[in-house]
Chains A and B, each alone.
Chain A
């Protein structure tokens, strides 16, 4: 059997498996989300007996979904910008300067990725309680997200700073450019993709983050992941959870596609930030 033929067979079988892997679960979720409250969907029926968008409307109006979206979508950009601003000087030092202990410092900057999320969440909360800082949950979560995901920003920006070419800087200086202008012409073009990439990565991680939002946000600061989690708890109602799951998947897909586009030129290890 030729390589091409083998590839084709493998391809079809894999596409089939992936379709089953993705299409069936989502189809089931869609069907469950359409179950009308007048009649439950029981095992003996292939399709829900009565279908409507009632639950979609009800949950949009009566769940904390809107609040959760507002919270998540203010948290994430704040954390992303803050992480970028705080990471940039460190990344500059890593990328443009040489100093003793640099490799140790670079390893230490990865610390937040090594400590398990829930350990950070629980004991960071304990720390905030001791500081008497427990009321401002939004600030606490922003700070935690910013630090937790800063390693990504530091790493991406370090690489960006490394790609700034010294001869561009020198040329700009020789042409009499001020510090400000030198940044504009020599640094900014090289840094731009890195800036976007680190903003987007921190944004996505912050939107997805569950542990800190769950522990520190308790009881009343709700984000998209914590809302979904509480919907799957003691009051779990399958059709409602289906609606929420579907609503939550959509923005993620667009965000990730954006990231993919940004990262296409960069290498995949960079995209994961853990290479």
Chain B
């Protein structure tokens, strides 16, 4: 009895490892699809909009008969998990999502399959977003942009602030009508970062962080403190948008795709408009990769192929307002006029970025 159990356990453990990288490399795409359908399921770790994405992947589930599970996760939590599971024979994650700007925290080749080798066709699929390369391991599936959401009933297009000085003037003229978050989401931090960047002369894209470099942010810190009475701190990405929708605020930083999605699903007023100020707001995107110890690597591969395809990218643009990450996809449902895309900036590099935000919290938020 026990021997039988042991034998079964061993064969299961060995069997789980059979679809390793070399095997997939030797298989034709049709064979991979067949294996994927045999596996029949996969788990996608993505840390935002899980409920909505579960709806969005049903097209894939119908097409291939492969069930996609999206667990409830957090951004830092799933990265910790990836690291913690690296030495396990078989992990829990089949497809792993991460933003391009934090991808540098991971040594991609240590963790992921080389998708360049495995996908049937990589033509047109974005592998470099915001100046950061996925090196063939990470493929873009979600282009996004931060900007400013505003209520056109109160702010006219001609009066939209474009620089820190113009924002200060807007705050002074309309106290308490603009807000931004500093935690729970990156839209506010993007506004903070870009304002500090414009008001200082240090290199935000150099990851190096030192007390001197942080100290030279003083001009921007003074700017925020000087006008502290005229702007509001919100609780999160969602809170900012909700408060514009409730007509409490007239203006707040927001993610383009977040706002578009909420409008699409009737959770925010559809007349809220959006722009990128010429001082620049950060943008980038998220990509997917397949961990080397994925339990259903073949299914994961078929999924990534589907997710990054032109058709799916067009569909995501329609339902989420994302910027497509496939050259042939139609991105016409975006909120931002195409000519404002040039104002996109990259995200400041970590660890400088983290230290800068911590400094902002200590010197500005806690002084309120």
Contact = CB atoms under 8 A, between A and B. Distances in A.
Complex: A in contact with B (CB within 8 Å): yes
Contacts of A37: 265-267
B51 interface: yes
10 cross-chain pairs, A with B, having the tightest CB-CB distances, nearest first: A219-B77, A219-B73, A37-B266, A220-B71, A218-B77, A236-B238, A222-B72, A234-B185, A62-B54, A234-B184
Interface residues of A, number: 33
Given A37-B266, A68-B72, A235-B49, 10 more contacts: A58-B51, A67-B72, A135-B88, A218-B77, A219-B45, A220-B71, A220-B72, A233-B238, A236-B238, A236-B239
B238 A135 contact: no
Interface of B: 45, 47-52, 54-55, 71-74, 77-78, 80-81, 84-85, 88, 92, 184-185, 236-239, 242, 245-247, 258, 262, 265-270
A219 B51 contact: no
B50 A64 contact: yes
Residue among B51, B72, B84 with the most chain A CB within 10 A? B72
Contacts of B71: 64, 67, 219-220, 222
Contacts of A236: 236, 238-239, 242
Interface stretch (A11-19, A38-46, A76-84, A166-174): A38-46
A239 interface: yes
A230 B78 CA distance: 14
B72 A238 contact: no
Contact of B51 (A35, A63, A238): A63
Given A42-B245, A43-B246, A235 B55 contact: no
Interface in A201-225: 218-220, 222
Contacts of A64: 50, 71-72
Nearest to B248: A43
A134 B85 CA distance: 9
Nearest to A223: B72
Nearest to A37: B266
A233 B73 CA distance: 12
Contact of A39 (B85, B262, B266): B266
Contacts of A38: 266
Q: Is the interface of A mostly helix, strand, loop or mixed?
A: loop
Nearest to A39: B266
Contacts of B237: 234-235
A236 B246 CA distance: 14
Nearest to A231: B51
A36 interface: yes
Interface in A228-264: 230, 233-240
A134 B83 CA distance: 12
B255 to A, nearest CB: 10
B247 to A, nearest CB: 6
A226 interface: yes
A249 B253 CA distance: 35
A154 interface: no
Contacts of B45: 219-220
A164 interface: no
A195 interface: no
Contact of B78 (A63, A219, A237): A219
Contacts of A237: 238, 262, 265, 267
B74 A219 contact: yes
A219 to B, nearest CB: 3
Nearest to A35: B266
